[in-house]
Structure 1
Amino acid sequence: MSGRNWMMRRLVIDSIRSDPEWMNGNYTSQPRSLKFASVFFAIATNGGTQALHKATSTRQKADAFLDKRLNDAFVGDANDHLYQWDASRDYDASIDLEKIRAKVLAINAADDERNPPELGLLERDLKRVPDARMMLIPGSDSTAGHGTTGQAAFWKKALVDVLQQPPMASN
């Protein structure tokens, strides 16, 4: 856990903990910073750059989009959110990749804000997995950044082609 991904999580944690309404976790109502930080994190790390720009191509559209997000119903607990975000501080998905014996298909999106493909981390680490393949969904004004991989419409047609490619392992 590093880079922008960790910095954004840390900002969520610090914004809640520094909110006087949090009261060191002894609040009687949810601190306002919880919803604000959650909306901020979601916009900053999900939605896709092109799609978000298309949807909010003017300041007025951007303000309306943001106002809607901030006014939408929100269910959450500040202490639960803190635990969730803080629990990722030492997460490292690259440990023991060589031990994986199952076929692996890693799908990422070109416009993924949390796991940006331009860093090359996924491609580098998948070479350590004996039978791994990778699919990179091109970014567009209809993809959703980090959320794209959860939408089969973006990857199901290309799945057969990717599975026929040779594994990425370098050995």
Structure 2
Amino acid sequence: MDSFEFENGEVLNDVKVEYMTFGTPKYDDKGVLNNAILYAHGSLGNYSSMKKIFPLSCKSDPFDKEKYFFISISSLGSPGSCSPSATDLKNRFPKYSLVDVVNFQKQFLKEKFGIEHVLGLIGNSMGGFVGLTLAIEYPDFCDFIICGVSTFKVAGHDFILSKFVDEIITSDPDYAKGELTYSLIRTLRIACLAEFNFGLSKEALRDMSNIELASEFENFGNESIETDIYDLKYCNAACMNYDVEDDLDKIKSKVLIIACKQDPHFPPELDAIPMSKMIKDSELIIMDSELGHLCFNDLESIKNELNEFMEEFDDC
């Protein structure tokens, strides 16, 4: 995009947007795309996270590729799109909020596809933050939201986890230099390892031997150093300040909330269940999966429930 203006008034020019599309575009009498579904990924993911719904995209599946046209965008702050690492601005990148993430995607959809209304949005984890924020800021923009393993505010243990990650990063004196050093690589690895316990369920972790766990922990840390520490810092800060609890009554979209009984990040009793009571037109599915917070990789297990929800939007 030629430019993008942040909530705080800062502007970046020549803005890069990474995306992919999948499915069958359909148009109304005026030539406007009318069957677009946006996919919003989790923190520091990218467009390829949409692969989670591919197993449910065949004929008669809930996300039938012959019925719908999917657009997945690497969000603002993610390395493939406009981000601290992609712009090389590092710690000089404008601070952004979840509203900025929403506006970034909304502006791109308008400029690239001429879209001013989408059929729906599917988002997991931070993608759920994006979906709810979009539905609150622009109540008429989408007909439905599927909000998976997510919440209405970062609080309690999740807020402390975000604070802990932030503390690890900012405690390194080299962070302020805005350039990668050996110390920052080590700090990045430690900050990412703080998240290790919040993916798979406690049951899945307990089923592994300590030798297996130590190996998985080591591999997780080694893989994490491919992340940019500034991308992580900015994304973590945006999520840490996320709280839409007082605005859920503004949502007009139909909302499907998907939770997982074994999710260590957002336990249903603290997040999904209260949220389902605060959003007037909402449905709730609680999965039973030892994948825990990663249960969007097992959506086939709730195929029937997803089909039932998507039936309402078959005639798009």
TM-score over 0.5 for the pair = yes
Return the alpha-carbon distance in structure 1 between the equivalents of residues 232 and 177 of structure 2.
11
Return the alpha-carbon distance in structure 2 between the equivalents of residues 149 and 66 of structure 1.
21
Structure 1: state its 5+ residue gaps: 164-171
Does the Cα contact within 8 Å between 2:201 and 2:264 map onto a contact in 1? Answer: yes
Return the alpha-carbon distance in structure 2 between the equivalents of residues 73 and 90 of structure 1.
23
Does 2:267 correspond to 1:116? yes
Does 2:156 correspond to 1:3? yes
The one of 28, 34, 41 equivalent to 2:180 is 28
Q: CA deviation at 1:150?
A: 4.7
Q: CA deviation at 1:160?
A: 4.6
The one of 218, 221, 239 equivalent to 1:67 is 218
Bigger mean CA deviation after superposition, 11-20 or 88-97: 88-97
Q: CA deviation at 1:25?
A: 4.1
In the alignment, which residue of structure 1 is the partner of 2:141?
A: none
Does 2:195 correspond to 1:48? no
CA displacement, residues 111-151 of structure 1 (integer Å, 9 cap, x when unaligned): 111111132x3222322322210000024xxx311111353
In the alignment, which residue of structure 2 is the partner of 1:167?
A: none
In the alignment, which residue of structure 2 is the partner of 1:78?
A: 229
The 3-state SS of whatever aligns with 2:304 is coil
- Report the residue type matching 2:167 in the other structure: D
Does the Cα contact within 8 Å between 2:199 and 2:293 map onto a contact in 1? Answer: yes
Aligned length: 155
CA displacement, residues 8-57 of structure 1 (integer Å, 9 cap, x when unaligned): 111111111112443x243333611112211321x121111112222x2x
In the alignment, which residue of structure 2 is the partner of 1:16?
A: 169
Does the Cα contact within 8 Å between 1:25 and 1:79 map onto a contact in 2? Answer: no
Of the two structures, which has the highest relative contact order with CA contacts closer than 8 Å and spacing of 6 or more? Answer: 1
Return the alpha-carbon distance in structure 2 between the equivalents of residues 63 and 21 of structure 1.
29
TM-score by length of 1: 0.78
Q: CA deviation at 1:63?
A: 1.5
- Report the residue type matching 2:295 in the other structure: T
Residue 97 and residue 28 in structure 1: after superposition, are their counterparts in 2 closer, same or farther (change >3 A)? Answer: closer
Residue 77 and residue 151 in structure 1: after superposition, are their counterparts in 2 closer, same or farther (change >3 A)? Answer: same
Does the Cα contact within 8 Å between 1:107 and 1:149 map onto a contact in 2? Answer: no
Return the alpha-carbon distance in structure 2 between the equivalents of residues 155 and 106 of structure 1.
12
In the alignment, which residue of structure 2 is the partner of 1:168?
A: none
Return the alpha-carbon distance in structure 1 between the equivalents of residues 291 and 302 of structure 2.
13
1:122-133 to 2 correspondences below 5 Å: 122-133=272-283
Percent of aligned pairs with the same amino acid? 24
- Report the residue type matching 1:128 in the other structure: M
TM-score by length of 2: 0.45
Return the alpha-carbon distance in structure 2 between the equivalents of residues 64 and 71 of structure 1.
11
RMSD (CA atoms): 2.3
The one of 279, 282, 306 equivalent to 1:159 is 306
Return the alpha-carbon distance in structure 1 between the equivalents of residues 304 and 236 of structure 2.
34
Does 2:144 correspond to 1:144? no
The 3-state SS of whatever aligns with 1:107 is strand
In the alignment, which residue of structure 1 is the partner of 2:238?
A: 87
Return the alpha-carbon distance in structure 1 between the equivalents of residues 256 and 220 of structure 2.
33
Structure 2: state its 5+ residue gaps: 1-153, 310-316
- Report the residue type matching 2:215 in the other structure: A
